[in-house]
Amino acid sequence: MKFKKITLVLAAVSALAFGAQSAFAQYDVNENPNANNSWQGPASDKVALNYGVHFVGTLSSSSDEDWSTFTPPNNTIGPGSYADITLVSPPGYSYNLAITDSNGGYVAKTWLQDSGNVAVVRIYTEANRTYWIGVTPGSSISTWNYQLTIN
């Protein structure tokens, strides 16, 4: 088990450093540096994520926040349906992961992992509900990319 965790962390760190695509991702989406993807920014500037999308972004300052949206496809909704959201911060950094509904309301989540620069949470998904996923700085920021994936 420990070997699998180390392998996963090393793969994530190398992908951050070298820009390689995640083996689990359907495709990569890069942050638009000209978009206002803060919480207050327009919805049209948010990146719409889906299962398997590998989002790559950068926090440019201690006040930078990157918000994306996630609306599970209706064919993925059923009793007990869920999404695991993974945030891999740059090596040596620990960014914050926030999940709300479209009005900023609380979304229940279970922390599956919160160690070092890797955070994984599970949310139970509902039909016709859009979730907002935010990445915000921890105690410091890096010029290196972070990764956000939904499985």
Residue-wise pLDDT tens digits, 15-69 = 443 343 333 445 456 656 555 555 555 555 567 788 888 888 888 888 888 888 8
CATH number 1.10.1670.10 is the correct assignment for the domain at 2-150: no
Domain ranges of the chain: 2-150
Residue-wise pLDDT tens digits, 103-125 = 889 999 999 999 889 999 999 99
C-alpha–C-alpha distance, residues 31 and 118, integer Å: 19
**pLDDT at position 19, please?**
40
**pLDDT at position 13, please?**
45
**pLDDT at position 32, please?**
60
Q: Which of 69, 87, 42, 64 is nearest to 136 (CA)?
A: 64
pLDDT band at 1 (very low <50, low <70, confident <90, very high): low
Residue-wise pLDDT tens digits, 58-92 = 888 888 888 888 998 888 888 889 999 999 999 98
**pLDDT at position 140, please?**
87
Contact 75, 127 (CB under 8 A): no
Q: In what order do the strands lie in the sheet with 96-101?
A: 47-49, 66-70, 131-136, 96-101
Is the pLDDT at 93 greater than 70? The verdict is yes
What is the pLDDT averaged over residues 114-138?
Answer: 91
Task: Mark residue 128 as left, alpha or beta (left: phi above 0; alpha: psi -120 to 50; beta: remaining).
Answer: left
